[in-house]
DNA sequence: GTAATTGCAAATTCTTTGCACATAT
DNA sequence: ATATGTGCAAAGAATTTGCAATTAC
């Protein structure tokens, strides 16, 4: 439920496990069942998951991990580059598989919380020029467009519960 | 200290008090010393203040208010339209005087936390078109460009303490 | 075996809420 | 007078941390 259209394709659960296992090995860190399971949930999902949703995803797979472990593993996944951290100003963070897409922006539905992604080359150039003009060494940017998605406008979506 | 260049000009402390007093009157709400003092700090400042910084600002003026009052009054100021709420993904909110500038974007220095503002007409049109293309009823957007400001690059700024 | 991870619960940070007391109108 | 605001301390939500028991290598 609530699986917004995406720019790229999430990799398979298996690929997720193996990619993370490799990274852990390379860094001399123990490969544990929890770590692989969490990688599978986050990287295998096409959604932008909150820490809580990751924990729920684990249980759906018949696995589980304590809250602390979920957060600690998410940090590792971000460090490994396999996962990207997002902040849509909801008061908590979301985690998204780092796909092959170099960079993309987000459309956030203020009704149901659904997220759509899109890419716009112009934005890349535009923000670079703007940063230059203000004598900033640009590191990156974030654009979130807020609005109401078509499903919510039509009253279709059965009111997701999002905080 | 740490007063980034701004797009518009903050109104004076007096204007702030009077504007808020008027709004409170119009809405049948009691005009209290705390409310006026908080309005003066937030609207009179050219910065993007956190709730804590507002409280500190009060003490600097020889006034003070409890945390709850600060938050409750900030809500009122936002409702009155005199103040705008911002979320730069720092884990807490910031509040900025609503100046005459209709909408502007932010450049955030990841070293010292300084914020510069800028305006770009193209962004307005661009985000409207993008929202349309995705069948979203656009409500607004937010662009934050992250980077390192010139002062920090030159090692000039005496390393602000920002969380 | 030993060092690192796990899970639980306690601690933190930002923000909200309940309630007795104080204050604006 | 009376409704509303204020401050304090407790409650909440998201996240982090301390620590004994457990597990990977």
Q: Tell me which of B11-15, B58-62, B66-70 is least confident.
A: B11-15
Q: Chain B: residue nearest A116 by CA?
A: B134
Q: Does residue B8 register a pLDDT over 80?
A: no
- Residues in B closer than 8 angstroms to A105, CB to CB, are 130
Query: A154 versus A61: which is more confidently predicted?
Result: A61
- Do A107 and B149 make contact, defined as CB atoms within 8 angstroms? no
Residue ranges of the domains in chain A?
Answer: 13-97, 105-154
Dihedral sign from CA coordinates of B13, B15, B18, B22: negative
Residue A123: is its pLDDT beyond 70? yes
Our measurement of CA A41 to C1' C22, in angstroms, reads: 54
User: Which has the minimum average pLDDT: B24-33, B114-123, B147-156?
Assistant: B147-156
Question: CATH class for domain A13-97?
Answer: mainly alpha
Q: How far apart are CA B145 and CA A128, in angstroms?
A: 9
Q: Which of A38-52, A99-113, B6-20, B135-149 has the lowest mean pLDDT?
A: B6-20
pLDDT at res. B14: 79
- Helices and strands: H and E segment counts in chain A: 6, 6
Instruction: Quote the percentage of chain B above a pLDDT of 70.
Output: 86
Q: How confident is residue A156, by pLDDT bands cut at 50, 70 and 90? A: low
Residue A120: band (very low, low, confident or very high) from pLDDT cuts 50, 70, 90: confident
Contacts of A131 in chain B (CB under 8 A): 107, 145, 147
Q: Work out the average pLDDT over B85-94.
A: 88
pLDDT score of A11: 64
Identify residues of B whose CB sits under 8 angstroms from chain A CBs. 87, 89, 105, 107, 109-110, 116, 118, 120, 122-123, 126-127, 130-131, 133-150, 153
- Candidates A87, A90, A88, A54; CA nearest to A73 is A54
CB A134 to CB B107 under 8 A? yes
Question: How far is residue B110 from each of residues A90, A138, B144, B153, measured CA to CA in Å?
Answer: 21, 10, 11, 11
| Annotation: CATH topology of B105-154 | Dna Ligase; domain 1 (3.30.1490)
């Amino acid at each position: 439920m609530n699986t917004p259209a995406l720019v790229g394709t999430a990799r398979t659960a298996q690929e997720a496990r193996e990619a993370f296992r490799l990274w852990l090995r390379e860094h001399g860190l123990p490969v544990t069942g929890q770590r692989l399971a969490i990688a599978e949930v986050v990287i295998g999902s096409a959604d932008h998951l909150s820490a809580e949703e990751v924990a729920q995803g684990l249980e759906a797979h018949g696995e589980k991990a304590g809250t602390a472990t979920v957060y600690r593993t998410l940090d590792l996944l971000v460090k490994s580059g396999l996962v990207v951290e997002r902040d849509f100003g909801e008061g908590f963070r979301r985690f998204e598989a780092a796909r092959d897409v170099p960079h993309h922006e987000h459309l956030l539905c203020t009704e149901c919380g659904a997220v759509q992604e899109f890419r716009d080359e112009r934005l890349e150039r535009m923000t670079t020029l703007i940063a230059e003009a203000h004598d900033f060494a640009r590191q990156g940017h974030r654009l979130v467009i807020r609005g109401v998605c078509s499903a919510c406008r039509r009253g279709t979506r059965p009111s997701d519960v999002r905080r």
